[in-house]
Structure 1
Amino acid sequence: MWRFLGLLVLCSLVSPSQGGPKGLSHGIVSIVSPATALKYVSSVFLRNELLQSHFLAIQFPDVPHKDKHPENWIKELHVVRVFTPSVSLELYEKVDSLVCIKARFHLSGKFFFGKHFERIDIILDVDIKAEVRFDAFFAGGFHIRLQVCKSEFAIARIICPSHLSVNNVRPVVTTILAASFHKMVCTAVEVVINVSGVDFLHTANVFFSMGTVATMQYQLASLPLITSNYVALEFNMIIRTGGRYITLPVGAGPVTLPVLHHHGFCLGMSQASLDAILMVLIQIRVQEFISTPEVFSAASELTTIVASLLSHQKCPKCPLKAPLKITISLVGIRRIILEPKRAVIELSVEIALLAKGPSGSLVGLFVMKANLKLSVRASVFGGRLIFTTKLASLELLLVSSQVGPVNVSVLVKLMKLLIAETFVPQVNECLDVGIPLPPVLHIRWNYPAIHFTQGMLALCV
């Protein structure tokens, strides 16, 4: 976590107009703006008064003043209240970062003024600077080392009984605080930063289910990338399906995120990563049905055109008006093409046409291969990226024929309608499962801007 905080410090230097990282080896990356980074660090430190609660746990030892005189003794000094601290970050290039905390403490204790103890209250302004270093990345985690912790305090006010002189109390309080406060406050800060580290890793290394198809895990792939302009995070995506594991991306090349503009966070998924995900998501069983108007609106027209393609010399046993049986099989790979402002899913199906012979048994006529291009509309709902497709184009080829040569070009229009009515809805049903998005830094995926660029899909909030 220390490393990540340093990371976030760096983030504070990011220019909103800067683009994303270039040359990353993985296909799933994110980039964080300074405002979002600072907001995250502050929110984690202050959530449920995490930082304040650790400061409140500070207990000062009952130590007499250095001259050992009992009239200069304070005991039961403790923290009564911590006013809401402010947290800021500064980046030291590459490995060192500075976490700065300013807070006002209300201390209370008992001061021995000669015969018995009287309560005193102290208002203390504290400035803490913790320099941290990050290293030893392993399996989605890393080590955070506290290099230097410095604290300075200034007594803003001392409240004591009227008969007790503030001038007498101040040097005693100052001496006690100088001897013990620094170590205790730095220990509290170190604990909080490590707790924050666990919080960050919890948002970066996450498991999801993808319906009944698969389970998915996002895992931090490397140490955060720190430059003078941005902080980037790389992720591995591990999918378990059918008893096997797929780690994404496989052989992905360098990727580049679009500029942040006014956004605070962008997550980018490369084309290679999405290709692998689509291979898992789009699993469609062979569709078999009798071509009737209830199933396919142009069933009658299809039967007529197929009949016109056949002659009694070619297929003397083929009935010309009996309903056709159609099978549609998904074949080959599924891939997405990402271009500026658009995306297309490419896949192929084989369409087989059969008819009943005189004996009532099915007779195969011919098999066609349709190479499909589906236009893609992307949206996010419930923290998942959902693609909705629409048939954009179809290329039709004859694969095999039991009735001799067939001019399938005359069937293109009808096959487009057939695919649009029967197959594309199946594709969209598969895609409705959605691709889970990681809640990095507790990002809420509410109405993100979706950008298609060359080889990259980016979601920005």
Structure 2
Amino acid sequence: MLGMWSLLLLWGLVTPCQGLLEKVGTLARIDKDELGKAIQNSLVGGPILQNVLGTVTSVNQGLLGSGGLLGGGGLLSYGGVFGVVEELSGLKIEELTLPKVSLKLLPGFGVQLSLHTKVGLHGSGPLGSLLQLAAEVNVSSRVALGVSSRGTPILVLKRCSTLLGHISLLSGLLPAPLFGVVEQTLFKVLPGLLCPMVDSVLGVVNELLGTALSLVPLGALGSVEFTLATLPLISNQYIELDINPIVKSVAGDVIDFPKPPKPIKVPPKEDHTSQVVVPLYLFSTVFGLLQTNGALDIDITRELVPSNVLLTTTDLAALVPEALGKLPPGQQLLLSMRVKEAPSVTLQNGKATISIPANIHVLSYPPKGTPEALFELNVVLTLNAQLAPSVTKLHLSLSLERLSVKLASSFAHAFDASRLEEWLSDVVRVAYVPKLNVDLDVGIPLPKVLNVNFANAALEIIENAVVLTVAS
């Protein structure tokens, strides 16, 4: 296992650069402040600090026991000048203040992590008196950023040491020479007690890092699995994850939608902010899934439109009388709309636009008869998308901007289909767009990295991507 880690780390973690994102994956840039918050939160309210509390030394055990400094033949054995130390026993860590976390990102490697804390120790001193000590300790560790066997980003403790600061005697009697013994004892013992605490902290943080790479359900459409596309990159201010979205059908088959031909020009990230760059590919994927699942198709009847929207042969005759032939007035219409091509999504200049090409078969629909085909239209719907981020996804709300129409065929006489644009626009707004918005409730999935909440993020639409930025 160590050999595998060494190999991963020898590949190197290069420094992120501003410029073009050559891939179509989601890009996550996590500021070091968020990593610091995750480490601090792992220490609050959990068992990590509690697990450190317990016995450090006793007369018969540990460094002050028979096999340690005071043992037979030890440096300060019972026959030495400090024989009085045998009365110092049961020294325990009874209190550990919440460590102050400070960290520094090391480009190309990982993290320099420091935890500054105060340790409270209780024990029995000479003559059986209660001894209370307080010691300031700085736990310094060097942590490498790599990739686990599951393909998730992971922090690995490479080196850990403790620096003992000021020791205060809060109560009890302790002869001056014994301070040196206590200091030596803590110097030897504390790394074994406090460095595992760092490992526990990293374990919690690694679980949060691992959640970025998960299977996100898209309801009846399928799912998106986020995987790490490349090794994590690290600068002196943030960690960058290039996350590859793998689209799967409900049956679990991988679906490969066309990729945009141009790379994404990623804007620079300001200090003390985190970013997620959502590529055009994910938008195209969701609409592609809607189209292949038939969710963009609809049959529009009188029941789906309000009374002020006209949907009878009488109303149609006022617009294109030549299209009806000898049909009697007053019959209801059926508009059968089918989308046979995937919609195209455009992201640029602060605007998100969806273009849906469709065929609409217009039929008369007598109450007790067989529908009769009248004509077929080729239409293109251009819709504006309003985007709103939440914790887990980008929500889309569509509105019709315009509709263009051409006559594909007619069972009566040819006519100028542009005369139907206003009427069709009214029908689409009340019957079709609301259905689209319901189907789009699945949203555009966002990776979850270190519990960073992008619900209130600033949103910027750039060419071929959406950038979400949140202050740390």
Please state which band the TM-score falls in when normalised by the shorter chain.
Answer: 0.7 to 0.9
Aligned to 1:63: 64
Q: Distance in 1 between matches of 2:162 and 2:267?
A: 41
Note if contact 1:355-1:363 (Cα within 8 Å) is conserved in structure 2: yes
Deviation at 1:457, TM superposition (A): 0.9
Q: Distance in 2 between matches of 1:263 and 1:420?
A: 43
Aligned to 2:108: 94
Q: Distance in 2 between matches of 1:375 and 1:272?
A: 18
Aligned to 2:408: 399
The one-letter amino acid paired with 1:201 is: G
Q: Secondary structure at the match of 1:188?
A: helix
Please, which moves more after superposition, 338-347 or 174-183?
174-183
Indicate which of 123, 128, 144 corresponds to 2:134. Answer: 123
Aligned to 1:414: 423
Indicate which of 362, 366, 381 corresponds to 1:353. Answer: 362
Q: Distance in 2 between matches of 1:256 and 1:249?
A: 21
Aligned to 1:27: 25
Aligned to 1:278: 287
Aligned ranges for residues 301-312 of structure 1 at < 5 Å? 302-305=315-318, 308-310=321-323
Deviation at 1:92, TM superposition (A): 2.4
Note if contact 1:275-1:336 (Cα within 8 Å) is conserved in structure 2: yes
1:400-458 deviation line (CA, Å, top 9, x unaligned): 22224332122122122221122111111111333343332112233322211111112
Deviation at 1:173, TM superposition (A): 0.6
Q: Distance in 1 between matches of 2:52 and 2:22?
A: 40
Deviation at 1:90, TM superposition (A): 1.5
The reply on whether 1:227 has 2:235 as its aligned counterpart is yes
Aligned to 1:39: 37
Q: Secondary structure at the match of 2:101?
A: strand
1:131-159 deviation line (CA, Å, top 9, x unaligned): 12233454432554433222110242124
Q: Structure 1: which 5+ residue stretches go unaligned? A: none
Q: Distance in 2 between matches of 1:293 and 1:275?
A: 29
Deviation at 1:381, TM superposition (A): 4.6
Deviation at 1:67, TM superposition (A): 2.2
Q: 1:420 to 1:293 in 2, by over 3 A?
A: closer
Q: Distance in 2 between matches of 1:351 and 1:68?
A: 97
Q: Please, what is the CA RMSD of the aligned residues?
A: 3.3
Q: 1:207 to 1:296 in 2, by over 3 A?
A: farther
Q: 1:276 to 1:58 in 2, by over 3 A?
A: farther
TM-score by length of 1: 0.83
Aligned ranges for residues 26-425 of structure 1 at < 5 Å? 26-44=24-42, 46-49=43-46, 51-56=48-53, 59-60=56-57, 61=62, 63-64=64-65, 65=70, 66-69=75-78, 70-73=83-86, 74-111=88-125, 113=126, 117-142=128-153, 144-161=155-172, 164-202=173-211, 204-228=212-236, 230-246=238-254, 251=259, 254-261=263-270, 264-281=273-290, 283-290=295-302, 294=306, 297-299=309-311, 302-305=315-318, 308-310=321-323, 315=325, 317-319=326-328, 321-355=330-364, 360-381=369-390, 383-425=392-434
Q: Secondary structure at the match of 1:199?
A: helix
How many pairs align?
438
Note if contact 1:248-1:273 (Cα within 8 Å) is conserved in structure 2: no
The one-letter amino acid paired with 1:444 is: N
Please, which moves more after superposition, 84-93 or 348-357?
348-357
The one-letter amino acid paired with 1:47 is: V
Q: Secondary structure at the match of 1:426?
A: helix
Note if contact 1:140-1:222 (Cα within 8 Å) is conserved in structure 2: no
Q: Distance in 2 between matches of 1:271 and 1:429?
A: 21
Task: Tell me the percent identity.
Answer: 18
Q: 1:338 to 1:447 in 2, by over 3 A?
A: same
Q: Secondary structure at the match of 2:353?
A: strand
TM-score by length of 2: 0.81
Q: Secondary structure at the match of 1:413?
A: helix
The one-letter amino acid paired with 2:92 is: H
Q: Distance in 1 between matches of 2:106 and 2:365?
A: 78
Q: Structure 2: which 5+ residue stretches go unaligned? A: none
Please, which moves more after superposition, 128-137 or 361-370?
128-137
